[in-house]
Amino acid sequence: MANDTPRLIALGIASLTILKTLNKSFGRRGKSSESIILVCDYSAYTIPLGYIFKAIEKNGLIVFNGEIILSFITQQFDQPIDEISKGWKTICEFTFQHHVPLKLTENLPIIDGWVYVNNDKVEFC
């Protein structure tokens, strides 16, 4: 992939505690087998809402190929935002065409807060 292609590191799955704290953002959103809400690390790119990622990598290997839509973005202030700004940590909803890959949900930890060190992260690219 080209070096200018946006990439975003997902640290893990947002816990129920986080989702309750961000009730204004996620309280209205229904649970779906096609989407997942993830805590994302500081972004090296500005990425707009609706951006379509083409793959997910783990440890440099592609673990999923297909379209993944960045369908919702928020931050600690519980306000929807229309882009991930460079340098921001965010909580994002990603929507898949058919269903969230089991490999993704099996291998990511549940995250309860903003400060988290994770060696099992994945990268959307």
* pLDDT of 89 higher than 60: yes
**Average pLDDT across the chain, whole number:** 85
Which residues have CB under 8 Å from 24's CB, separation 6+? 78, 79
Which CATH number is 8-111 given?
2.40.30
Nearest to 10 by CA among 102, 81, 105: 105
Each residue's pLDDT tens digit, 41-81: 999 999 999 999 999 998 888 988 999 999 999 987 778 89
Instruction: Show me where the domains of the chain are located.
Output: 8-111
* pLDDT of 93 higher than 80: yes
